[in-house]
Amino acid sequence: MTHSSSNNLSGRVLIVDDNSLGLAARRSVLEELGHKVSTCSSPHEALELCGKQRFDVVVTDYKMPKMNGLEFIGRLKKQHPQIAVVLISGFTDTLGLNESNTGADVVMQKSAHEVSLLIRSVNRLLRQQKPSKRPAGSQTSSKNEKRKSH
C-alpha cells in the first residue's frame, strides 16, 4: 500500500484490547499511516490514560475481561463525550451490535477486511472532528499562511 501525500490527516489514537497480537497489528497499521498510537490491554487502564492525555479516536475490542467494550464505551463517553469510538468484535452479528445500541461511532466485525475498514473508519472520524477553519479548496494556501505568520 502506498501513502498518498494528500493524506495529511493524522490523529491521536488509543487502541484497547486484551489480545496483544490484535493490539500490535492494529498499532503498526495506524502508525504506518502517521497516527500517534497508544495502546492499553485493559479498559480500566484506558480510562485512566484518557484522563491524562487527549485522544481523537479510541479503538476498542468488545470481549475483554472485567469490563467489556460496551461498558468501557459508556464510561468513556461520560468522561469524554466528544471522543470518537470504533468498536471491533467477532460477535457483532451474533450479539446484534451496531452504532445505535453501543454508543460507538463505528462498529466493525473482525474479518479479513478489518484492516482496510479500520483505516477508513479512523480517517473518516478524524475528518469529521477537524474543525473546518478554511474552505475545503484552500488547503494549499495554508502553507503560505504559515510562512506569513512567522
Domain boundaries, the chain: 12-129
Q: What gap in Å lies between CA 48 and CA 28, rounded to an integer? A: 23
Name the 3-class secondary structure at 5: coil
**pLDDT band at residue 112 under the 50/70/90 scheme:** confident
**pLDDT band at residue 8 under the 50/70/90 scheme:** low
Q: What gap in Å lies between CA 15 and CA 51, rounded to an integer? A: 15
User: pTM of the predicted model, to two decimals?
Assistant: 0.81
- pLDDT, tens digit, 9 for 90 and up, residues 38-94: 999 999 999 999 999 999 999 999 999 999 999 999 999 999 999 999 999 998 988
CB of 41 closer than 8 Å to CB of 53: no
Question: Which of the four CATH numbers 3.65.10.10, 3.40.50.2300, 1.20.1250.20, 1.10.357.10 does domain 12-129 have?
Answer: 3.40.50.2300
DSSP H/E element including 93: helix 92-95
